[in-house]
Amino acid sequence: MDSRSHTHVTAGLRLCLHALLTGLLALASLRAVGEDAPHAAAVVGLSVLMASLYAAGALAGSVRLRSRAEERDAAAEKPEALAAASRSQADGRAATSAARAAFAAPLGAGVAALWLAGLCALWLALLVLSPDALWVAFPLYFLQLHLLPTRWALPAVVVTAAAAITGFVVHRQEIAPGAFIGPLLGAAVAVATVLGYDALFRESERRRELIVELVATRADLAEAERTAGTLAERERLAREIHDTLAQGLSSIQLLLRAAERSLPDADPAAVHVRAAREAAQANLAEARSFVRALTPPDLEHGSLAAALERLCARTTGPELTVRFAVSGSPAELPTPYEVALLRTAQSALANTVRHARAGRAEITLSFMDTSVALDVVDDGQGFDPSGAPVQERGDGGFGLPAMRARAGSLGGVLSVESAPGQGTAVAVTLPLPVADRERAA
């Protein structure tokens, strides 16, 4: 909701307050003159003086009733003020006090307090002279509730109501139920109106902020989905080229090399076999360059360990610390293995950031004789793994089923250990290919 939609409401309330105070002062003056009261001249003089003081404060701009919406719009032009307003909204009482103190902007709450004290002093003097000044207490309730913090506004309203009741009793020389019901009911209505409006406005602000956050999140999610789709397609093409074209060219090269060795050097076919082998070798190198070009950007400029370390550094923030460790002797892994482990780490960390509310997380990459393992552990709120979704997302999203399917495509397994309030541990283990085992041995 646009906060500026509140300015029309507050402008109307401001005009009503001006009209109410002016009308009640005029009523007190007219009745004093019409009834030929003993202090009619003094009543008229005090009424004019009080109206003049009120008008001076309202027109000068130093004392101006403003809603929180108007305060925020003005503060938006000043980063420091906007930051202060945001901090005050985090504390309900501070937010209410700040909004009401806006009545005194831009000269400060001190000017507003002096202005209000002057109005109350003139009203008390007028109440001593005329019983009709009792009704002026009603606009004063609203002024006190808007100008003062809650801890001072409510006692001020109570004191004002007590003064109005006392003035009525002294002037009428009788105790009637109306003398108590009128001021107290007016005070209750004023308190309920102001505090109710504050509560509604805070709720409106929370909804507005939620809508802004949802719109921003939706845009971020759409961008993340596009990026994930692009990277998933690149990975798929890399796997297809590696598993079909590159492997086929490698087999052709080996067969041609064997054929070349079986032919005598003087055999005319040896030249053609050598040319075919060299062409297959060149195309194999080109296919492998395509595979390297289609690998994730994080793996283009370093090893898997370096990519995981950069991932931890990017994810670490004020509320979450992510550490990385390597166990065993690092070995070069096939590109599909590196991609699978990196994607699993990214997915697990994304879940930690979004859902776990964790303060610490750790990624461990372990190289063993026959396998490689990746562990992602956090100290977050945990969850029930049996309640996790069992269907894999069709868009290749960051779910546990997607991680499990990625590990299963390479002959590995994914395990999840978690419980509510006990953090989460995600572990993926991939068996090393035979060639890599032999090199490690």
pLDDT by residue for the chain (441 residues), tens only, comes to 334 445 666 677 778 888 888 888 888 888 878 877 787 888 888 889 988 888 887 777 544 444 333 444 444 444 344 334 344 343 434 334 433 433 434 345 678 788 888 888 998 888 888 888 888 888 888 888 887 888 888 888 888 888 888 887 777 766 767 667 778 888 888 888 888 888 888 898 899 999 998 888 888 888 877 877 777 777 777 777 766 777 778 788 888 888 888 888 778 888 888 888 887 887 777 776 666 666 666 665 568 888 899 889 888 888 899 999 999 988 888 878 888 898 899 889 888 888 888 999 999 999 998 999 999 999 999 888 876 554 443 333 347 888 888 888 889 999 999 999 899 999 999 998 765 555 555
The model's pTM: 0.41
pLDDT at 393: 39
State yes or no: cis peptide before 106, omega within 30 of 0. yes
Tokens read off for 310: 């950069």
pLDDT at 176: 67
Q: Are strands 371-378 and 360-367 parallel, antiparallel or unpaired?
A: antiparallel
pLDDT at 190: 83
Taking the C-alpha atoms of residue 370 and residue 430, their distance in angstroms, rounded to an integer, is 9
Taking the C-alpha atoms of residue 250 and residue 284, their distance in angstroms, rounded to an integer, is 7
pLDDT at 79: 39
pLDDT at 374: 95
Sign of CA dihedral 229, 234, 240, 242: negative
pLDDT at 1: 33
Asked if residues 44 and 27 have their Cβ atoms less than 8 Å apart, the reply is no
Integer-rounded Cα radius of gyration of the chain: 39
Q: Which amino acid is at 241?
A: I
Tokens read off for 421: 């309030």
Taking the C-alpha atoms of residue 370 and residue 435, their distance in angstroms, rounded to an integer, is 11
pLDDT in tens, 73-118: 444 444 344 334 344 343 434 334 433 433 434 345 678 788 888 8
**Beta carbons within 10 angstroms of residue 24's beta carbon:** 21
Task: Single out the residue of 100, 72, 373 nearest to residue 205, CA to CA.
Answer: 72
Task: Single out the residue of 109, 101, 99, 104 nearest to residue 197, CA to CA.
Answer: 99
Asked if residues 85 and 105 have their Cβ atoms less than 8 Å apart, the reply is no
Taking the C-alpha atoms of residue 88 and residue 350, their distance in angstroms, rounded to an integer, is 31
- What's the gap between Cα 176 and its chain centre? 56
Taking the C-alpha atoms of residue 198 and residue 266, their distance in angstroms, rounded to an integer, is 99
